[in-house]
Amino acid sequence: MMIKVSCLAALLAGQAVGQHRGDDVPYQNPQVAKQLEKQAVQFYQSAAPAVSEASKSVVDIRGRSGHLAFGTVVDDKGGIITKWSDIQQSYNMIGVATSDGQKLGAAVEGIYPEWDLALLRVDGELEPVDFSASREVELGDMLVMAWPYKRVGALGVVSVLPRSLQQEDQGYLGVRLSPEEQSENGVILSYVQPGSPADLAGIEVGDSVVKVGSTPIRGFIELQNKLRQYSPGELVRITVKRDGKDKMIEVEMGSRGVLPPEGRVAPERMQVMERMGTDLSAVRDGFANVLQTDMPLRPEDAGALVVGLDGKPVGIALARASRIKSYILPMAQLEKILASKARPLAEMARPQVRYYTPRTGQPATGPRVRYRIQPRANSRTHQLDPSEHMMMDMMRDMEMMQRQMEQMREQLRQNRR
């Protein structure tokens, strides 16, 4: 049975997740904190049956320093899919631990660089995920991340249906709207960007979008997901209500890569806003087909199997992209990837991606990667340009703010005792 959750339930779930996983929330009222802890236990207990079978197909991938990522067993010959960038620094000395207590050595068989995935191979009997049992999801569906040992890793709600994150694949209209600006007759536009496809086609501020193509529009999310189905250069018939009358306007979708200057946000500013004290995956963008959720997964949770409340596979955790969004690779897409040929490890120059801490500029280790840059060709050492210096300064400030927040949390914990 498909179980829907309200916005309130989703909010409570998110708060409960933080409490359950040890992410202390600085509530000043101890009674509120106690209530959230109780809710966390209830939420996770209710979701536990969903992962009882799925967790058998999830393994813990470990290196010398401990946990690196999770992996999902994808065939009956010891094949395991996981996130490449999470294991890349330790790829030649990794092993897996299974729910039934096995500890096996693992070797990298191939890489899917465009998806940041690695196919591992172990010599052992593992239970693969059942691709035939997978299902598609709808907006608002609750998702559960499965850890080994029948543990619930995280909960989340489907916020955006599968789409491409590659900017050249996404059509661009050039309007702004908000969930509050809805009417019984569609979604009201609060802003039309000058020079955008919408502006050139004659769409105006105050227009209410009632139909895209032949699809009636009744809400913000519905319009957002419908527009994402179109590619640059594609003609779209948009019906708006203006002055009480319906007006059909044909728009040629533009490309996000050629936004007018006033429509751009500085990348440094965007990265800081997206991070906001949250550890993000080192590789978290550019995927051709992902499902978006508000699931608060950690970067090192990548590779874990994600299921619905009915226990049927939905996809695998791919990346934490911001404070409020994570990406899931749908099972259908994963099956297509595995049917293609992986690149041999020998073709992947190591290190393909180098990680640096913002304070020292030295290569970083472990899962808490703060900053990532690509080594420059024909250069032994990487010299930071002014924009990179600025970014590092901003990241230092963010780290300082995070340390202050941790101190505040510690003080609050002491006050509760």
Residue 132, in any domain of the structure: yes
Looking up residue 316, the CATH number of its domain turns out to be 2.40.10.120
Neighbouring C-beta atoms of residue 24, cutoff 10 Å: 14
Same domain for 173 and 147, yes or no, is: no
What residues make up the domain containing 177?
A: 167-261
Strand (E) or helix (H) holding 53: none
Lookup: tokens for 126:
């593992």
Taking the CA atoms of residue 15, residue 18, residue 19 and residue 25 in that order, the dihedral angle to the nearest 10 degrees is: -80
Task: Give the whole-angstrom CA distance, residue 348 versus residue 50.
Answer: 37
Q: For 80-106, what is each residue's pLDDT tens digit?
A: 999 999 998 888 889 999 999 899 999
Q: For 232-246, what is each residue's pLDDT tens digit?
A: 888 999 999 999 899
Backbone phi, then psi, for 70, in 5-degree steps?
-105, 165
Same domain for 309 and 372, yes or no, is: no
Residue 268, in any domain of the structure: no
Q: Which one is predicted more confidently, 147 or 404?
A: 147
Least confident of 45-49, 57-61, 367-371: 367-371
Same domain for 68 and 114, yes or no, is: yes
**Which pLDDT value is given to residue 190?**
86
Residue 206, in any domain of the structure: yes
| Cα 310 from chain centroid (whole Å) | 22
What confidence category does residue 180 fall into, taking pLDDT thresholds of 50, 70 and 90? low
**Which pLDDT value is given to residue 370?**
34
Q: Is the pLDDT of residue 143 over 80?
A: yes
List the one residue out of 144, 95, 391, 169 whose CA is nearest residue 272.
Answer: 391
Number of domains in the chain: 3
Same domain for 8 and 83, yes or no, is: yes
Same domain for 339 and 351, yes or no, is: no
Final residue belonging to a domain, choices 228, 261, 294: 261
Q: Is the pLDDT of residue 200 over 80?
A: yes
**Which pLDDT value is given to residue 186?**
82
Same domain for 22 and 91, yes or no, is: yes
List the one residue out of 292, 158, 288 whose CA is nearest residue 231.
Answer: 288
Q: Is the pLDDT of residue 132 over 90?
A: yes
Residue 114 is given by DSSP the state: G
Same domain for 107 and 184, yes or no, is: no
What confidence category does residue 396 fall into, taking pLDDT thresholds of 50, 70 and 90? low
Radius of gyration of the chain (CA): 23
**Which pLDDT value is given to residue 323?**
83
